[in-house]
Structure 1
């Protein structure tokens, strides 16, 4: 049995999570059009079901977070939750705090933290995967949070100065 180097492991992790982000980035938003016949028919009998089937969620958000926590977060942001826990359940964040999320992925925990620290606080998400950062930026536009930013970097050599955060969270990233 051959052992992988640290760089090989890091590359495998980046590829796995990057491919999940690229898959999500490749999804397009659809507009439902109702077909009608000349007499205005648009019911199930002549045109098929009026509602498209809902896709199964690919993430764990609905199992890890309360409905109240997820209430203001768009579903497409929730479905990319790839963590294994809920750091908000134990972080006890307060208004005005600065939060760093290590391995922030698509940003869900950053957005939830941003709600708790309010406009006087700030949240920085750190991730090493370009496609996750692209997805997080897209999600940030959907959520509209003004106190969240995302940075590229690795935990071992963060592009951040010491002493600027009150709380550090991570959702099952440091065990990779």
Structure 2
């Protein structure tokens, strides 16, 4: 039975394989439905047995990694993986290195994925979690700086673990708490 390390290594190898992929094949992976009926998926699966053994589990993961892979010419794409940026943190700051930006007096940092949406995601199970996690990934892709990475194994673990609450919530709220404390300190310094 594969463990988290195996899943993480597979996710990293998928991210590395998608970076040089031509834009058409990458777009097909981003639009892929749950049945995995995209040739590029099966090309990945040919050298990654987990993908062919359990496509119902891996299709959403490959789609999510595809969604987050920077668009454009393969030679211009930055590396998606950044071990220092957990998925939960990126859901909070949106992959924006300047988040939360300059806040006015009394303003609080606003996470890119709202706390309500995070709570729904954490409470969801099965197919509903896959849907909500994919929506969160799409929202993240729309706001994320293409140069900012994410801890790619977290993507696989968020889909595969029975309860990913700790791995998503802890870095999300640590990021939000740091931003709120910094905003509070700035407000007090300005007074």
TM tier, shorter chain?
Answer: under 0.3
Q: TM-score, normalised by structure 2?
A: 0.23
Greater fraction helix: 2
Of Structure 1 and Structure 2, the greater strand share is in 1
Higher relative contact order, chain-length normalized (CA < 8 Å, sep 6+): 2
